[in-house]
């Protein structure tokens, strides 16, 4: 049997040992004013007792639990893992714990998680949002400060609330430029029938694709997928079978890219001979793939880091941050044959 946990050292113990009041201890420890001598006595006592202020007491008093919450669609997706890593790395420098929730890109689950956060009195959230304005507006009103990462929320149909959501700062990759660069690269190679595989949530990228394609756009080649791997595969496979005339495809994220490679292989579509492929997001395996994949790289870790910075400095009304993407040409694209 394990021994019973001993009672925690409290601020009272420190005060007693130092021969001062508890308020003084609190002040000294949080950098308030105190005479040099008092300060030393307090610090001494605290060290001697190995005193660790209880976050519980502080949190209750301040009516807010510290820490920052992070909501991502899927933590096993390397992109979100890197994003999370960035958040974690920034949060560490503030000594703030990070609570992670997985939404599965499902507004309902997201709403659930936000509810849980409120229950915990968390007041800082970084989210890759799945829900729309209707779901985030109440959270905002409840007083938590939100930063969106990777995506922002769709414009809300209700006029009055649109303003609210525009107030939510966001850290985004420059989807417009990324998509445009990729499309230009592909058209430069002679491709005309270019497919686009994207998640339902990737509104910005889808829109950017439509714009970038201009005259060339064929709505039938723009195919949406749900959040799962299976759905990604189904979308890719479906597109390739339905429209064997396409010569290039751009995918909105790395799991769709993976699905495209798999589906192509299954259908005996050769990359890049029969089909050129550009994938959004440069994951480590893109280079190991056969052929190595041409990608639109995104600074995932940076996105997370910057988002964490923003959510920590809620004071200085921060604007939306847009981070650049980069086309990395490897071996998955060829000229139209």
Q: Which stretch of DSSP H or E encloses residue 109?
A: helix 107-119
Q: Which of a copy of itself, DNA, none binds 67 (CB below 5-8 Å, type-dependent)?
A: a copy of itself
CA dihedral 55, 60, 63, 69 (to 10 degrees): 40
Q: Which of 1, 7, 95, 268 binds DNA (CB under 7 A)?
A: 7
Smaller CB distance to a copy of itself: residue 81 or 135? 81
Asked if 24 interacts with DNA (CB under 7 A), we say yes
Q: Which of 56, 108, 157, 241 binds a copy of itself (CB under 8 A)?
A: 56
Alpha carbon 160 to its chain's center: 27
By CB under 8 A, the residues from 149 to 208 that bind a copy of itself are: 167
Torsions phi, psi for 249 (to 5 deg): -145, 145
Per-residue contact flags (x/-) with a copy of itself for residues 130 to 149, judged by CB under 8 A: ----------xxxx------
Asked if 315 interacts with a copy of itself (CB under 8 A), we say no
Asked if 319 interacts with DNA (CB under 7 A), we say no
Report, in Å, the least distance between residue 2 CB and DNA.
20
Q: Which of DNA, a copy of itself, none binds 19 (CB below 5-8 Å, type-dependent)?
A: DNA
- DSSP state string for 157-190: SSHHHHHHHHTS-EEEE-HHHHHHHHHHHHHHTT
- The answer to whether residues 312 and 166 touch, using CB atoms and an 8 Å cutoff, is no
Residue 214: burial class (beta carbons within 10 Å; 0-12, 13-18, 19+): exposed
Q: Which of 5, 63, 317, 319 binds DNA (CB under 7 A)?
A: 63
Asked if 53 interacts with DNA (CB under 7 A), we say yes
277 three-class SS: strand
- The answer to whether residues 232 and 251 touch, using CB atoms and an 8 Å cutoff, is no
Smaller CB distance to DNA: residue 26 or 103? 26
Strand ranges across the sheet with 276-280: 222-225, 194-199, 248-251, 276-280, 294-297, 326-328
- The answer to whether residues 260 and 236 touch, using CB atoms and an 8 Å cutoff, is yes
Asked if 95 interacts with DNA (CB under 7 A), we say no
Give the C-alpha distances (Å, rounded to integers) separating 42 from 38, 54, 251.
Answer: 6, 17, 60
Asked if 89 interacts with DNA (CB under 7 A), we say no
Asked if 29 interacts with DNA (CB under 7 A), we say yes
Per-residue contact flags (x/-) with a copy of itself for residues 99 to 128, judged by CB under 8 A: xxxx------------xxxxxxx-------
Polymer length in residues for the chain? 337
- The answer to whether residues 228 and 106 touch, using CB atoms and an 8 Å cutoff, is no
Q: Which of DNA, a copy of itself, none binds 30 (CB below 5-8 Å, type-dependent)?
A: DNA
Interface with a copy of itself (CB under 8 A) = 2-3, 5, 8, 52-57, 59-60, 63, 65, 67, 74-76, 78, 81-82, 84-85, 88-89, 95, 97-102, 115-121, 140-143, 167, 229, 258, 261-262, 283-285, 287-291
Interface with DNA (CB under 7 A) = 7-8, 10-12, 19-27, 29-30, 33-35, 37-39, 52-54, 56-58, 60-63
């Amino acid at each position: 049997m394990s021994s019973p946990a001993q009672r925690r050292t409290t601020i009272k113990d420190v005060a007693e040992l130092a021969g001062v009041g508890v308020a003084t201890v609190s002040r000294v420890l949080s950098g308030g004013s105190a005479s040099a001598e008092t300060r030393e006595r307090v610090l001494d006592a605290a060290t001697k007792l190995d005193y660790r202020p209880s976050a519980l007491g502080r949190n209750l008093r301040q009516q807010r639990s510290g820490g920052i919450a992070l909501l991502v669609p899927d933590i096993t997706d390397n992109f979100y893992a890197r994003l999370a890593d960035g958040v974690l790395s920034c949060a560490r420098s503030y000594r703030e714990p990070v609570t992670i929730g997985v939404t599965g890109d499902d507004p309902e689950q997201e709403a659930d998680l936000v509810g849980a956060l409120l229950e915990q009195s968390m007041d800082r959230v970084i989210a890759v949002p799945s829900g729309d304005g209707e779901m985030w507006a109440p959270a905002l009103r409840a007083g938590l400060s939100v930063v969106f990462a990777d995506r922002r929320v769709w414009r809300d149909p209700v006029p009055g609330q649109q303003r609210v959501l525009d107030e939510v700062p966001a850290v985004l990759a420059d989807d417009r430029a990324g998509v445009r660069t990729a499309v230009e690269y592909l058209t430069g190679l002679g491709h005309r029938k270019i497919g686009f595989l994207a998640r339902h949530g990737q509104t910005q990228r889808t829109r950017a694709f439509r714009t970038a394609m201009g005259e060339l756009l064929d709505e039938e080649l723009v195919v949406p997928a749900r959040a799962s791997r299976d759905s990604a595969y189904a979308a890719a496979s479906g597109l390739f079978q339905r429209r064997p005339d396409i010569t290039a495809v751009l995918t909105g994220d790395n799991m769709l890219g993976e699905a495209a490679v798999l589906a192509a292989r299954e259908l005996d579509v050769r990359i890049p001979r029969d089909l050129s492929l550009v994938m959004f997001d440069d994951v480590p395996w893109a280079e190991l793939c056969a052929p190595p994949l041409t990608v639109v790289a995104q600074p995932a870790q940076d996105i997370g880091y910057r988002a964490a910075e923003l959510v920590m400095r809620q004071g200085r009304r921060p604007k939306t941050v847009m981070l650049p993407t980069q086309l990395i040409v490897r071996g998955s694209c060829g000229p139209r044959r």
